[in-house]
């Protein structure tokens, strides 16, 4: 196990470095996206969040933080992870195509004034891009949370938040930082006295 100490230290340093670089390069977009979510929630809108795999877990994590609580005891905030209803996901994937699973839910649930947050480490997940495209067409504000160069997500996101890394684990760690930061800022803005 002692052989792991150096490797573990390197992983830690890489993770911290990516998060610092993420904040330095994306501060404006991070804060702009938090403000967009805040404005939507304050004006009766909701947050629709979606992604695949680890990004699906991140979507569920963020929705839980808004609906339950983050740090403050408070009223719930409306957020929906579009990754949780297995009947919808499997019906759409079976009857149509997996690339339609978020698009159909956005069309059914999204309203102007809502925010759609698509998460994809590559920025190229077809179903996430189609969800963002549908959201934009329905008048939702769209946020893309991604990594690397942003992939094709830039074409569909009103606000693009890009983790400057090509390493999926480091991107996902920065995504959790983003989620927690946004949750804390929005919660404090609405409920802190």
Per-state percent for the chain, helix, strand, coil, to nearest 5: 60, 15, 25
55 assigned ligand-binding residue: no
120 assigned ligand-binding residue: yes
**For helices 4-42 and 168-191, angle between their N-to-C axes, nearest 10 degrees:** 40
Angle, CA 176 vertex, CA 168 and CA 16 arms, to 5°: 70
175 assigned ligand-binding residue: no
From the DSSP assignment, how many helices (H) and strands (E) are in the chain? 6, 5
113 assigned ligand-binding residue: no
Secondary structure string (H, E, C) spanning 81-103: ECCCCHHHHHHHHHHCCHHHHHH
172 assigned ligand-binding residue: yes
87 assigned ligand-binding residue: no
Whole-Å CA distances, 60 to 12, 70, 127, 131: 25, 13, 17, 16
Contact 172, 54 (CB under 8 A): yes
14 assigned ligand-binding residue: no
Report the 10 Å Cβ neighbour count for 91: 13
193 assigned ligand-binding residue: no
168 assigned ligand-binding residue: no
95 assigned ligand-binding residue: yes
17 assigned ligand-binding residue: no
Known binding site: residues?
52-54, 61, 65, 94-95, 120-122, 125, 172, 180
Known binding site for substrate: residues?
52-54, 65, 94-95, 120-122, 125, 172
Known binding site for Zn(2+): residues?
61, 65, 172, 180
């Amino acid at each position: 196990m002692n052989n792991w100490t150096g490797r573990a230290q390197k992983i830690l340093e890489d993770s911290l470095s990516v998060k610092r670089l993420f904040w330095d390069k994306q501060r404006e977009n991070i804060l702009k996206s938090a403000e967009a979510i805040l404005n939507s929630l304050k004006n009766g809108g909701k947050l629709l969040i979606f992604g695949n795999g680890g990004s699906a877990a991140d979507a569920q994590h963020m929705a839980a933080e808004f609906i339950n609580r983050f740090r403050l005891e408070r009223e719930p905030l409306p957020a929906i992870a579009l990754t949780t209803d297995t009947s919808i996901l499997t019906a759409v994937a079976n009857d149509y195509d997996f690339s339609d699973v978020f698009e159909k839910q956005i069309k059914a649930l999204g309203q102007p004034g809502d925010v759609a947050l698509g998460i994809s480490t590559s920025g190229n997940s077809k179903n996430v891009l189609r969800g963002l495209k549908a959201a934009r067409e329905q008048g939702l504000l769209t946020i893309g949370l991604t990594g690397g160069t942003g992939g094709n997500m830039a074409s569909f996101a009103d606000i693009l938040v890009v983790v400057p890394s090509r390493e999926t684990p480091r991107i996902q760690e920065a995504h959790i930082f983003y989620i927690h930061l946004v949750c804390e800022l929005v919660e404090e803005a609405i409920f802190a006295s």
